[in-house]
Amino acid sequence: MDEGVEAGVGRVPTAWGAAADAPRRTIVFLLVPNFSMIAFANAIEPLRIANRIIGREAYRWRLTSADGRPVAASNGVTCAVASSIEDERRELIGGGRPSMIFACSGVFVEEFQDKPLFSYLREAHQRGISVGGLCTGAWILAKAGLLSGRRCAIHWENLPGFAEAFPRADVYADLFEIDHNIYTCAGGTAALDMMLALIREDLGDGVVDRVCEQALTDRVRGPHDRQRLPQKARLGVQHAKVVRAIEIMEANLSDPLSLAGIAYHVGLSRRQVERLFEREMGLSPARYYLEMRLDRARHLLRQSQMPIVEIAMACGFVSSSHFAKCYRELYTRSPQQERASRHKVASVA
């Protein structure tokens, strides 16, 4: 627990002189139905801890929703809010103008539509207010028209659908991205890393170190740290040539390379690649590549509104009938059945 910092309230060391003069930020957390609780908590808690450490309110926040009613997170927990979008729109020109707005979303965000909410985000951004998205919040910002030509981050599981839906956004599987006054993070504990970067900018390394001590985290990750474990660790594969071949496959899902082409890029013969995959993966390279493409198709079916024929093409299939045949063989259901069942599966942490 962090109650031990209470004794230090009001006594800020001289080394933290920057903290004593830092301006207060007012942050609006805009909760969207089915938002990610883990991302939200990891964003708001470091701000609370920072306030306790420096002994004053450097950060103030309030929660809002589209209609001012409580919002349920994806885990079923309902959060009360203090205002509606209509209320917040009035604050843009009043005394309660925030310095930052974070859209907090989670599962099924691709289906979320709220024109007044998108308009509010655009208006806030036009007025010079920083805007951001937690977890799948990049979807909200992109729908509001704020990510064209901007770098952004999103949870790795949502990246394929997002990239197809918003080709003009420069999306990465990074922990977080800060592009001028637009902040996005991948969700989960990445929200903590993004907020620590914000606290460091405002209050310095000393306060960030104390926040980490209280949060029991021993490392501040950078924006470009991996969301996922490296291929070798994830797959339990030790052979560097196999790992490299898989990386090449991942980079060429929509326009699959031939096995001869993959072998050329890793500096082996076709037969050597086949033997290595059989030994290390228990599958032929062709089968592994096919299942990788079908896995991407599965994410697109669950997380996008793309027509099935376009999903087939985006995953390297020459026809929707061939795609459907392969999909059914692997998942024992058709692409249409997969799409119909997506509301039963929460696919984002």
254 and 118 in one domain? no
Question: Any idea what DSSP says for residue 268?
Answer: S
In sequence order, the 6+-apart residues with CB closer than 8 A to the CB of 339 are 301, 302, 308
pLDDT tens column, 159-187: 888 988 899 999 988 899 999 999 999 98
Whether residue 19 is found in the same domain as residue 133: yes
Q: Looking at 170, 188, 215, which one is the last position of a domain?
A: 215
**Order of strands, edge to edge, in the sheet holding 25-31?**
83-84, 59-65, 25-31, 100-105, 130-135, 182-185, 176-179
Same domain assignment for residues 250 and 104: no
Query: Are residue 140 and residue 258 in the same domain, yes or no?
Result: no
Q: Which residue has the higher pLDDT, 331 or 341?
A: 331
Q: Would you say 256 and 316 are in contact if contact means Cβ atoms under 8 Å apart?
A: yes
In a domain, 221, yes or no: no
Amino acid at 221: R
Q: Does 197 lie in the same domain as 62? A: yes
| pLDDT tens-digit map of 297-329 | 998 898 788 899 999 999 999 999 999 999 999
Q: pLDDT per residue over 207-248, tens digit each? A: 999 999 999 987 778 777 766 545 554 556 668 898 889 989
- pLDDT for res 346: 43
Domain contains 131: yes
Q: Is residue 225 part of a domain?
A: no
Residue 172 counted as domain residue: yes
Residue 116, domain extent:
3-215
d(CA 195, CA 29): 13
Round to whole Å and give the CA distance between 322 and 291: 14
What percentage of the chain reaches a pLDDT higher than 70? 87
Q: What H or E segment, with its residue span, contains residue 61?
A: strand 59-65
> Are 198 and 237 members of one domain?
no
Please state whether 183 falls in left (phi above 0), alpha (psi between -120 and 50) or beta.
beta
* Structural domains in the chain (count): 2
Domain containing 110 — which CATH number? 3.40.50.880
In one letter, which amino acid is 59?
Answer: Y
223 assigned to some structural domain: no
Distances (CA, A) of 122 to 39, 105, 115, 128: 23, 17, 11, 10
Q: Is residue 15 part of a domain?
A: yes
Inform me whether the pLDDT recorded for 348 exceeds 90. Answer: no
CA dist., res. 145 & res. 142, Å (int)? 5
For residues 196 and 291, membership in a common domain is answered with no
**Helices marked H in 204-258 — which ranges?**
205-215, 231-235, 240-250
